[in-house]
Structure 1
Amino acid sequence: MIVAVAAFSLMDMLLKLLTAHYPPLEVAVLRGAASLPFMLLPVLLRGRWRELRPHRPGIHLLRSALYVVSLVGFIFGVRALSLANAYAVFLSAPLFVAALSGPLLKERISTGNWAAILIGLAGVLVILRPSAESLATWGALAALAAAVGYALSVIAIRVLTRTDSTASVVFWTVSLMTLFTALLAAPGWVPIAPAHGYWLLALGVLAAIAQYLFTEAFRSAPPAVIAPFEYTSLLWGVGLDRLVWHVLPSARVLLGGGVVIASGLYLICHEHARASPEPGVLSWKWTTEKGRMLRRSAGVEVTAARQQKEESP
């Protein structure tokens, strides 16, 4: 998982470098176009094209639109901010996932979780540094919009994965995102310099490596064990900022980022404790659905088990 996060961070570094030469919308197009062939490679090698069939086209469109908001917002953020500053704001996404799961997925949110969410959002305010003159920089607000868009897209994924394969979700999200951003970027398109071809190739390779390792990490261990390592992206951001741009985050950003991360870790640990299977109920690895055995995360599986109990006469 640490290597996956490192690959994502290197990919974000390339995105930031590209924003110095191309508009953010065009960078989003390049990111999607560069990664799509590598994401399709496993399906091509296995010849399982049926896995790409969408069962809920409307939700795929919605999820892709949310992903556009998330990716373009993040690119605007890293264009204006350092990687570490953008990460510190973007890492608030799990807080929004937890907060929005209540009204959108009808999930119960405990008092402790609400307290963690509010404390984490206070950490975001520390990073944004609101004042009488200005709430925050446009870059910070763009990163915050990216976090909200990402949180909503995660909730959409939780709905999609009930009927669609992982390959289908990834393919249609990236394909539609690339199409949407290409239409928006077309009027101000800047020709690609040949020298940046290597950067685009690296983008695609890093995206494939990161996605593969990310998936394998969650396949091999419970989410509560793996998810905290995602927060190491802030460390990678600090290191890359220092190495490439020779800057370091302020103490205020580190303090606010620490509060956000601590709140996120609390939510992860609390959810793991709540979702631990009862004796005699399914283990975290497997659950039966429609006669097939499907690999699940702890939260999804326990939810299915509870629904099965409620539906039993």
Structure 2
Amino acid sequence: MSSDRLLPAIGLRLLSVGLFATMNAAIKLAEAKGARLGEILFFRQFGAAILVTGVIAAGPGLATIRTQRLGAHVSRATVGVISMAFTFAALLLLPLAEATTIGFSTPIFATILGALILGEPTGWRRWSAVAVGFVGVLIVLEPGGHAMPLAGAACGLAAAVLTAVVFILLRQIGRTERAQTTVWWFSVLSLLPLGIVYAFQAQPHAAGAWAALAVVGVAGGCAQLAMTASLRRGAVSLVVPFDYTALLWATIYGWLLFGSLPGRATWLGAPIIVASGLYIVWREHVRRREETRRALSEE
């Protein structure tokens, strides 16, 4: 890949990571200022829906959101909203760095689900990486210890598993649908149930809470667009490793805004989880490259 495409792909991915980290910090701030989980979820998707619609209208046109797979988008939106709810709950219950680190276990669960659901070939190398990754997760969670709230850890793990399910659904939808089309349908479809929840949880807030909710929506929507754009310019194996810079952002935000730093268990377990995830991504890249080579040789 030429540098004129490689550098923008990496830059956009790093931008998306920073924006998602900003969104996560705003989620905790909004809750601290009185916002409820349902309100935060609604504003996250409301901001994304407006931004994605604007980008599509200004770019390829709204005609590109037409789909013949509405059922698949409904399934993706359903799992996505539940996954997002658990993710946000983990952020509210745990320090930023710990919640972020647990989220790094998503590739581990995606490997397992890919093998079980899609029948993807998974050799001993990737299964070994999965096992090592689980060791890292156990170190961070400290089972039997008292450093991490059980409810927060459970929400974080549930979010990681459901996000892995979303990855599987996106692989299937991506065979026929554009990435921006999928993002648009997720944003808009999820507003229907979240709008109902918001109607019951809406309440007056001070200016600080409204500002935090606005940041959640804008930063989250911009992060989604930047992430999608990075994948249009670079392969998954190129850009995904930069997602792990999220731990740096989480540590900085946690220290500056909430006066918290990652615990010893997180510093020990995070590198193991990251190494496992990076190896899984690399093996997936190798597998797809070999499949492409075989397909070309059979032509």
Question: Taking structure 2 as the reference length, what is the TM-score of the superposition?
Answer: 0.87
One-letter code aligned to 1:149:
L
> What residue in structure 2 maps to residue 85 of structure 1?
98
Which runs of no fewer than 5 residues in structure 2 stay unpaired? Answer: 1-12
Q: Determine helix, strand or coil for the equivalent of 1:190.
A: coil
Identical aligned residues as a percent = 28
> What residue in structure 1 maps to residue 251 of structure 2?
238
CA shift, 1:233, in A, is 0.4
CA shift, 1:133, in A, is 9.0
Instruction: Pick closer, same or farther for the CA change 1:154–1:212 going to 2, 3 Å.
Output: same
Quick check: 1:11 aligned with 2:29? no
> Residues of 1 paired with 2:127 and 2:134: CA distance?
11
> Residues of 2 paired with 1:73 and 1:218: CA distance?
25
> What residue in structure 1 maps to residue 52 of structure 2?
39
- Structure 1 residue aligned with 2:242, among 208, 217, 229? 229
One-letter code aligned to 1:144:
L
> What residue in structure 2 maps to residue 147 of structure 1?
160
Instruction: Pick closer, same or farther for the CA change 1:46–1:226 going to 2, 3 Å.
Output: closer
> What residue in structure 2 maps to residue 276 of structure 1?
289
CA shift, 1:194, in A, is 4.4
One-letter code aligned to 1:28:
L
Instruction: Pick closer, same or farther for the CA change 1:309–1:18 going to 2, 3 Å.
Output: farther
> What residue in structure 1 maps to residue 225 of structure 2?
212
- Structure 1 residue aligned with 2:89, among 57, 66, 76? 76
Alignment check: 8 A CA contact 1:102 1:109 kept: yes
Alignment check: 8 A CA contact 1:38 1:204 kept: no
> Residues of 1 paired with 2:273 and 2:229: CA distance?
26
> Residues of 2 paired with 1:83 and 1:134: CA distance?
14
Using CA pairs below 8 Å that are at least 6 residues apart, which structure has the higher relative contact order? 2
One-letter code aligned to 2:29:
L
Alignment check: 8 A CA contact 1:10 1:206 kept: yes
Q: Determine helix, strand or coil for the equivalent of 1:19.
A: helix
Instruction: Pick closer, same or farther for the CA change 1:75–1:208 going to 2, 3 Å.
Output: closer
> What residue in structure 2 maps to residue 102 of structure 1?
115
> Residues of 2 paired with 1:257 and 1:145: CA distance?
18
Aligned length in residues: 286
> What residue in structure 1 maps to residue 212 of structure 2?
199
> What residue in structure 2 maps to residue 22 of structure 1?
35
Alignment check: 8 A CA contact 1:35 1:203 kept: no
> What residue in structure 2 maps to residue 117 of structure 1?
130
Which runs of no fewer than 5 residues in structure 1 stay unpaired? Answer: 279-301
> What residue in structure 1 maps to residue 70 of structure 2?
57
- Structure 1 residue aligned with 2:173, among 153, 160, 184? 160
Instruction: Pick closer, same or farther for the CA change 1:35–1:261 going to 2, 3 Å.
Output: same
One-letter code aligned to 2:227:
F
CA shift, 1:309, in A, is 8.0
Alignment check: 8 A CA contact 2:100 2:247 kept: yes
> Residues of 2 paired with 1:245 and 1:267: CA distance?
33
The two structures, once aligned, show a CA RMSD in angstroms of: 2.5
> Residues of 1 paired with 2:236 and 2:249: CA distance?
21
Alignment check: 8 A CA contact 1:28 1:178 kept: no
Quick check: 1:187 aligned with 2:162? no
Instruction: Pick closer, same or farther for the CA change 1:214–1:69 going to 2, 3 Å.
Output: same
Which structure shows the higher helix fraction?
2
> What residue in structure 2 maps to residue 48 of structure 1?
61
